[in-house]
Amino acid sequence: MVGPITRRLVLAAAVVGLAPVAALAESANIKAASAPPAAAEAAKPLKVGVSAGPYGDILREAARLAEKEGLKVEVIEFTDWTQPNAALNAGDIDLNNFQHRPYLSNQVKARGFRIIPLETSIVVPAGIYSSKFAKAADIPTGARVAIPNDPSNSARSLYLFQQAGLIKLREGAGVTATVADIVDNPKNLSFIELDAAQLPRSLDDVAAAFVSNNYAHLAGLDRNKALALEGIDSQWTLVFAARDDRKDDPRIRRYIDLYRSADVKAFVDKTFGGSILATW
């Protein structure tokens, strides 16, 4: 028979025995509480923003390779050029790939974004298109032509109009060139500035319009019928961009490495046949 004293000793021993277990459980709880944020973050898909058009197909091909390594990637398409940087700056996405350095630089300056360029991705030759004329020389005097209304792509378009022999820009105008930098306009063309997404639709109303490749693709424009096209030496190569505090994120870096792989380059060459050019 166990007496009261014995029962008290057994109970005390049980309590003492449970103390380390409780301590271990508490420690485990602390670890469990602190571990999930990093684990949960790693489990989330890497979100990559892109403007609508063929760029997303390339990003998805790289995502397919990433999936094989256990890196989940979600490609998110935006309908215009203003949203991907706003979403990136807000932390709604992790990375984007739709813009060239001059455009990004202007966005950062104008809107105070904490976004920096990383590696280059592709060259996407933009073109001057017309639904009325087969050659740039056929555009009549006094005609209206349409160009993008954002500063960097406006400059880009003006250089292509210069390449087509329609205008001449001031020497050294650079990537910030505007219509004020036109020093020779023999056909007295009027330049109408529109949102980039509206440019294909403007072709019914203007003699010609500068259209970036992604919007030309969506509109079904035939690049072989363009009045002028950019070449491989374009200074408006697209870049990946990330927040400045995420530039060394290993998941971002790994995804970019996979994007710039031989497999993805082969996909670009086969799929786009020269309309989009890999930079690596």
Q: Is the pLDDT of residue 6 over 70?
A: no
- Both tokens of residue 45? 């898909």
Do 241 and 103 sit in the same domain of this protein? yes
Q: Which residue has the higher pLDDT, 232 or 224?
A: 224
Residues 99 and 119 in one domain: yes
Mapped to the 3 state alphabet, what secondary structure does the chain carry? CCCHHHHHHHHHHHHHHHHHHHHHHHHHHHHHHHHHHHHHHHHCCEEEEEECCCHHHHHHHHHHHHHHCCCCEEEEEECCCCHHHHHHHHCCCCEEEEEEHHHHHHHHHHHCCCEEEEEECEECCCEEECCCCCCHHHCCCCCEEEEECCHHHHHHHHHHHHHCCCCEECCCCHHHCCHHHEEECCCCCEEEEECHHHCHHHHHCCCEEEECHHHHHHHCCCHHHCCEECCCCCCCCEEEEEECCCCCCHHHHHHHHHHCCHHHHHHHHHHHCCCCEECC
**Residues 245 and 230: beta-carbon distance below 8 Å:** no
Q: CATH number of the domain that 223 lies in?
A: 3.40.190.10
| Same-domain check for residues 91 and 172 | no
- pLDDT at position 240: 99
State mean pLDDT over 97-110: 94
How far apart, in whole angstroms, are the C-alpha atoms of residue 48 and residue 255? 10
Q: Is residue 133 part of a domain?
A: yes
The pLDDT, as a whole number, for residue 264 is 99
Q: How many domains does the chain have?
A: 2
**Domain containing residue 182:** 127-229
pLDDT in tens, 200-224: 999 999 999 999 988 998 899 999 9
Give the pLDDT band of residue 39 (cuts 50, 70, 90). Answer: low
Predicted confidence (pLDDT) at residue 177 exceeds the cutoff of 90: yes
Does residue 86 form part of some domain?
A: yes
Mean pLDDT of 178-188: 98
pLDDT digits (tens, 9 = 90+) for 154-175: 999 999 999 999 999 999 999 8
Q: Quick one: 175 and 211 in the same domain?
A: yes
The better pLDDT of the pair 32, 105 is held by 105
Residue 1's pLDDT is: 45
pLDDT at 178: 97
- Please tell me the predicted confidence (pLDDT) of residue 36: 52
Instruction: Return d(Cα 89, Cα 113) in angstroms, integer.
Output: 6
pTM recorded for the entire structure: 0.70
Looking at the structure, tell me whether residues 51 and 119 fall in a common domain: yes
User: Is residue 211 in some structural domain?
Assistant: yes
Is 215 domain-assigned?
A: yes
Shared domain check, 225 and 168: yes
Strands 228-229, 127-129: pairing kind: antiparallel
For residue 112, the model assigns a pLDDT of: 98
Residues 247, 119, single domain; the answer is: yes
